[in-house]
Structure 1
């Protein structure tokens, strides 16, 4: 994997630009520190990342293009590719089709293209925002792009998150949405339709398969007028982050089928306290699939000591995200030191299939569908941010099959009535319609079982609970001692934006401010009233249930 840092049309001495580029690039080197090179476009030449055939277009890319071979065959058969990089198709497609080419890309990506002939530039981010990406303006009004906030805060007076599913053209000067499926609108409601479970199973299998591409170059490229700083790593052996919950277990099971009789080559990883629910369940899955399983344990003290570093890499103070990121951060460190560079992870399933426990309270299928759409569209600020930054803090790349755009098209177009939760209702085989029932049912194949029954139908655990129930209690206890009552009472004076309401939230916010003191950086983190892992809709649903309950009692 990699990172991007770019400043366009900058002025000044070459030596000064080079020093600035290297200084800011140093803040991103954890994302892929295997090799590097430097180039200042128009000024010096070098063995640099990716160019058009005539060298006029220069590409700085972070990510993975899964359909690059298909695109090369369909549209670029006459192009002589200079590298084996999947990302090289980007620059050639831009050269051929212009701004709208990005809609052809299937993958996770963020990139910037500069045209040395005209001084124009173009940037884009993947549809869901799996790769992190920011932009900003320095005091001279020059535009910067970076994979992480930390690379911009010292040089930009205004910073914003690059919106997912959009491209930016310096000619147009605006962000243009290119990802516009029908389901993306909260006002679109899928029509009632017959449910075909095999379609879900086939779509997820296809999404996993395309993410098993290996031996692909990744890069960190730094760009100043235009300067590139290139860091590259190579994927060798795939692995799966295995929590023992439904989502990661399904991913591991699908991957194991591609390995067939050689599942020992598939490595699975779990993390938690000794005898935690996730550690136990992951072992059951690993034994069932026959994988080479690595179970990592961490102590409460190790978890506490990691919080400041996690917040620095995460660039967020959202309570739920920080809680879940610490175990992933610690696990990623151990995975990387074991020699692995790419893993598959299960982010996105709960948002797509209404898997969080608060969805039990959804008052109607219409409200449930709107909430799933809001959740998927917000993933870039929560689970995707965690999966991207907690792993890449150690140079480990996480790929997320559930967020494949074709899989999303299938599942977000389903009649939301099929996603409604009703544990009192049972199917013809006696299965309760618990959360993610249709996903479980799609992989309930007794003849060739994907998973043990106790895993396939295991009740939902929040990731930060599953690693050990004492984890959250410890965080609260630590914050209770570290933050005084007076500090919390005066929180609005210190933090007028997104004022923390608990001592735990105050502690995270304080650590965030220590790393990112500028007020504009705090405003990049979303907030508002929520129930765990939800949007404010859950608060509204609770109010509706309370009113209905009160009415029924009085009636």
Structure 2
């Protein structure tokens, strides 16, 4: 895995400052500590940091075509490069290496912008074609690999694998976008294509950007989307056979490596399935790693050990202290913008552990989105059935009133905590789903933000992110519709961002076989009952894995990768939370209602309410602001 950066004068041919380009490249040293490379010519500069995985001796970047007129910097893996090389050679192209990077330049020469449609893998790359005076940026279909870009105040287009590469450029604007703050406090991250800064953007998954010198800047182009097109119903047996074939193929092509390779093994369904198939495909024992927690409420290590024993893996496990909160400020530096998924802490630690023994690790990310594994899908479908019983004209006022008067009862048994459900029932499907996944509800955000900050928002609401995606959804089927929304938002903005930054902080490449686009396409189109069957999520996935994994792995209650925030904030982090949330850094922004911040801290630390998630988002936002001041 690698890091890429670049500077492009899209209006003229101003000389690129090579020292500045090197500084941008160095900001991402952790992504590729093996070697670095730069290329500059009239109005163009490209930089690359390399983590050597394939073709160790000759895969240096930037990499050129035969006559040097096309050059590329590339982050990722193209798994079908072995098949593309002879096809391109038959078309007259000459290869000097046996690496996947060289496939990109020749594919561009042969197929132009459509070259990305031929690639199977995870990638973000920038290609400069001198003859056409064209810069081409591309990101993989699922958004596994990141790519940021922006328009600097000096007229340059700048880009990089991480936002810190852009902010290393002095003319890069760093004015915070109020709409990004609204999104952050709703989702826990800033959603594509926005970043925390007004003048920087994320290239969305499955998109390209083509910039021709001297021509108006174009819009991004979408070259792929999850189809979610219903096909003829298939039997469970047929579905199991095809899923197993796709799983084996996806995992097999991700086992190609010239450096040590292994897998994460949490003990959950997805990572256990990946390890089981890896073991079946491998001649040598699979290297696996997991972390354990002293608190049994958060510990899955016994299940990971059970899978490791069954498949005789080289298993390594380390216990992580549940008071592992020294990472808070480090996380702010890693993620570059506000990011509030607290599972980033154990993710960082498991990547740290994996890197002690391997350079490449396979993960189980994507199983829940593909096969409807999250419990919230079941809740949403129940709400959808209830919505269908009453017309909107009656449902909105009735449930809106009930939601307002029903007390919020975090302390009560779950059956009595109906406030969120009642509030959700007063909304339409998309608004209801947004309400169910929001870290801060609309009501809480309304109380959180100051009057002056609300004026800056000019009426913008974070639900518009989901409404925009829903407007382009290829499906109206209720379950597929929210799966699509999660793939467009939560998967890329939270899960894949978390894994990329945590792994690359340790120069570890992570591959996600459950996000192979061929598998994703197939899974999106099978009938919903094969995904959510009654109360059982990931139904067909679990049935397929029954010969490989025991029932107590497949059918036990999902635990997740959590940390004990509530007890932290009433115990060892009590003073830190109070000082951060009520301190000068947040107060000086003018964004927040100080009285409400005091209320959140007091009610949580008294034990009357659980505001741990809300306080974590504030803690990470405060840490981001302090990190920004330092840099």
Q: Which TM-score band applies after superposition, normalised by the shorter structure? A: 0.7 to 0.9
Other-structure match for 1:178: 223
Other-structure match for 2:244: 201
1:241 and 1:268 in contact (8 A); partners too: yes
Q: TM-score, normalised by structure 2?
A: 0.69
Other-structure match for 2:370: 352
Question: Do structure 1's residue 127 and structure 2's residue 168 form an aligned pair?
Answer: no
Deviations 1:115-162 (A, max 9, x none): 223432111000110001111011122111110011112432210111
Question: Do structure 1's residue 515 and structure 2's residue 627 form an aligned pair?
Answer: yes
The 5 A counterparts of 1:43-82 are 48-77=61-90, 78-82=92-96
Q: CA deviation at 1:52?
A: 1.3
Q: CA deviation at 1:457?
A: 2.2
Question: Do structure 1's residue 304 and structure 2's residue 315 form an aligned pair?
Answer: no
CA spacing shift, 1:130–1:48, aligned 2, 3 Å:
closer
2:354 and 2:361 in contact (8 A); partners too: no
Other-structure match for 1:23: 23
Other-structure match for 2:467: none
CA distance in 2, matches of 1:36, 1:306: 28
CA spacing shift, 1:282–1:159, aligned 2, 3 Å:
same
Question: Do structure 1's residue 97 and structure 2's residue 111 form an aligned pair?
Answer: yes
Q: CA deviation at 1:109?
A: 0.3
Relative to structure 2, which stretch is displaced further, 3-12 or 35-44?
35-44
Q: CA deviation at 1:462?
A: 1.3
Relative to structure 2, which stretch is displaced further, 78-87 or 49-58?
78-87
CA distance in 1, matches of 2:616, 2:98: 47
Other-structure match for 1:383: 495
CA spacing shift, 1:476–1:177, aligned 2, 3 Å:
farther
Other-structure match for 2:125: 111
Q: Secondary structure at the residue paired with 2:39?
A: strand
Deviations 1:50-80 (A, max 9, x none): 1111110110111100011111222333322
CA spacing shift, 1:273–1:45, aligned 2, 3 Å:
closer
1:125 and 1:164 in contact (8 A); partners too: yes
Q: Report the number of matched residues.
A: 469
Other-structure match for 2:521: 409
1:360 and 1:421 in contact (8 A); partners too: no
CA distance in 2, matches of 1:341, 1:190: 40
1:464 and 1:472 in contact (8 A); partners too: no
1:480 and 1:503 in contact (8 A); partners too: no
Other-structure match for 2:287: 267
Other-structure match for 2:351: 332
CA distance in 2, matches of 1:243, 1:495: 42
Other-structure match for 1:503: 615
Q: CA RMSD in A?
A: 3.0
Deviations 1:7-65 (A, max 9, x none): 11388996x71210121112100011111233323699997531111110110111100
Match of 1:247 among 251, 259, 270: 270
Deviations 1:260-302 (A, max 9, x none): 4x32xx110101223653211111110111000010222234x
Deviations 1:157-188 (A, max 9, x none): 210111110111113722111003522xxxx5
Question: Do structure 1's residue 371 and structure 2's residue 482 form an aligned pair?
Answer: yes
CA spacing shift, 1:492–1:411, aligned 2, 3 Å:
farther
2:88 and 2:106 in contact (8 A); partners too: no
1:76 and 1:92 in contact (8 A); partners too: no
1:72 and 1:89 in contact (8 A); partners too: yes
CA distance in 1, matches of 2:619, 2:78: 39
Question: Do structure 1's residue 41 and structure 2's residue 41 form an aligned pair?
Answer: yes
- 5+ residue gaps, structure 2, are 48-59, 174-198, 386-476, 601-613
Other-structure match for 2:281: 258
Q: CA deviation at 1:238?
A: 1.1
Other-structure match for 1:458: 556
CA spacing shift, 1:495–1:32, aligned 2, 3 Å:
farther
CA distance in 2, matches of 1:486, 1:334: 30
CA spacing shift, 1:201–1:477, aligned 2, 3 Å:
farther
Deviations 1:430-465 (A, max 9, x none): xxxx222221101112xxxx1233212222111125
Q: TM-score, normalised by structure 1?
A: 0.78
CA distance in 2, matches of 1:251, 1:84: 27
Deviations 1:215-237 (A, max 9, x none): 2xxxxxxxxxxxxxxxxxxxx12
